[in-house]
Amino acid sequence: MNAFPQPEWPHRDSPAPRAVAGERDACGVGFLAHLRGEASHWMLQQALRGLGCMEHRGGCGGDADSGDGAGLLCGIPWSFLEAVWPEAAAAVGQPRGLGMVFLPREADRRSEARRFCEEEATRLGLRSLGWREVPVDASVLGPMALATAPVIEQWLLAGDAAADGVLEALLFRLRRRVGDRAREAWGAAASDLYMASLDTRTVVYKAMVRSVVLAQFYADLRDGRFSVSFAVYHRRFSTNTLPRWPLAQPMRLLGHNGEINTLLGNLNWARAAETSLDAVWGDAAADIRPVVNPAFSDSANLDAMLELLVRSGRPITEALLTLVPEAFRQQPELDQRPDVRAFYEYNACLQEPWDGPALLVFSDGRSVGATLDRNGLRPARYSLTNDGVVVMGSETGVVEIDEARVIEKGRLGPGQMLAVDLENGRLLRNWDVKEEVASRHPYGAWLAEHRRSLRPGAWREACAIAELDLLRSQTAYGFTAEDLDLVIEEMAGAGKEPTYCMGDDIPLAVLSSKPHLLYDYFKQRFAQVTNPPIDPLREKLVMSLEMHLGRRGSPLRPEPSSASVLHLSSPVLNEAELEAIASHGLAQASLSTLLPVEDGPAGLAREIGRAHV
């Protein structure tokens, strides 16, 4: 393996590789792992080489040298750290964790930040063993990145909790508590203190740089003693948020290529689900709220939700299949796998999918892998060699491997997953992962016992409104002759939305002096690249209108009672179906949406409170 040449680290003055037109449209991600867990510096070198080949997938600032972000997520190289850090050598044999911390540039605030960290660690029963300044070469940074560059240090901790997962949960709480402490003291400036990772198994090296510069910036990555058995790499193309050091990827558990279209809805569902934290975390739930933050990127919020599920005890593969499920309703291969279908149906009662064109590469130190969302609109190719090296990426050929060593090649399809079990040295292909996850609980039995379904009701055929009254109502609510003739009549006759092209030079509804239909005041919010127009009528294979009514259970800990919901095939109900809901034990209330304009949102809130049951 060592016969492969080492990558050459370009100087910051070297020109950035040119991107082929049309290619600069998505982040670049990938991972390498050794099935037998053999750690080597070669593995790190090849991850860096793969990262360097992703330069065309990243964005750069106006200075042509400050990248949107690039980074590596890998196993903690304890042998290397023990060789260069006396405190790490002295902690051998203890349950220990490592933090990669971005600190303020001012010396006094940096000292205060360390004090916050150490005091909160003590309160949780952890011991701070020392800090190490990570050697970096700031001269390779572009002007924009240099102006905001943090001081980067590693923090070594130890604890008495040796049980599997306990120390990780404490470190998770510690990171959140430190963030709260900084916000209380510094307000908006709390973003100057950021933990790229704080874990017992993994560490993140990332920066606001071009991918080919990462190893020149971090001297650790060039040290031959830095050996790993797996690594996840990511080159960022910033679409919906401006580049910042903390938003470089990988995050703490994943690297994300794509955009989460359902972000706003998922954030709202996550806030609503925070009430279930107490049942799993008890008094510690206060350390974790809020789980998500609208100020973060879509990738950062998905990573935060994934981290919560993993730290609550769910395996990372199971957590990702819960958050980003495949399109299981119209999946014929699941007809022979009822347990997997039941797993998806059960989790649909608890968790809305984080949908979008997404390729997710992930690792928690126990497993490393990749998955595509239900749309499958991102490339994900893998190779397996005869000596146990697994290579996965959004590009092929980025790692120097002799083709004679390759024994298998493939790619992920929509909703598929590939994972490497690092603890047991197993390669888990798509159905291996899902069948193993589905076998952990009797999801089918839980659904059969607890879930109810709303049967279709007959539609009323008699006209309920006289023709003149209907015309008055249509006029009052803003319907025009054009709406009726060109849109509604076409939809009623053809069963689909009409398509036509015409100029639209009228003002936005909110700025217009003319009355408009209610839905004219709303515009769809979605990511701005590579998202095709899709809807449940045209894309039944990947989309569904199904939903559930009733109290939602917690996705943090599967239990039978969480399946006690009412399943609807569509949120559009006729009169008979609406009346039938009461027979399923769900309370109902009616409220008027005819409210004084001057009341604004407060009027609607008052009406909802009055109708609350």
Question: How would you write 420-453 as a 3-class SS string?
Answer: EECCCCEEECHHHHHHHHHCCCCHHHHHHHHCEE
Distances 89 to 84, 163, 221, 299, 376 between C-alpha atoms, Å: 9, 22, 19, 35, 45
Judge contact between 221 and 47, C-beta under 8 A.
no
In the sheet that holds 417-421, the strands lie side by side as: 254-258, 358-363, 367-372, 417-421, 426-428
Tokens representing 227 are 């050996």
Catalytic residue check, 53: no
Torsion of CA 426, 431, 433, 434, to 10 degrees: -160
How is residue 353 written in tokens? 């999918």
- Which uninterrupted H or E stretch holds 146? helix 143-147
Write out the H or E segment, with its range, that includes residue 384: strand 381-385
Q: Is residue 376 within 8 Å of residue 415, measured between CB atoms?
A: yes
With CA atoms as reference, report the closest residue to 543 among 328, 239, 380, 339: 328
DSSP SS3 for 62: coil
The amino acid that residue 260 corresponds to is I
CA separation for the pair 253, 310 (Å, rounded): 9
- CA distance readout (Å), 221 to 73, 195, 241, 418: 12, 19, 28, 27
357 contacts 374 by C-beta, under 8 angstroms: no
Determine the Cα–Cα distance for residues 526 and 541; give it in Å rounded to an integer: 21
- Three-point CA angle 289, 293, 297, nearest 5°: 145
Residue pointed to by tokens 């005041």 = 521
Place of tokens 């379904």: 453
DSSP letters for 190-236:
GGGSEEEEEESSEEEEEESS-GGGHHHHBGGGG-TT--BSEEEEEE-
Of 27, 74, 117, 349, which is the active-site residue? 27
- Residues forming the active site: 27
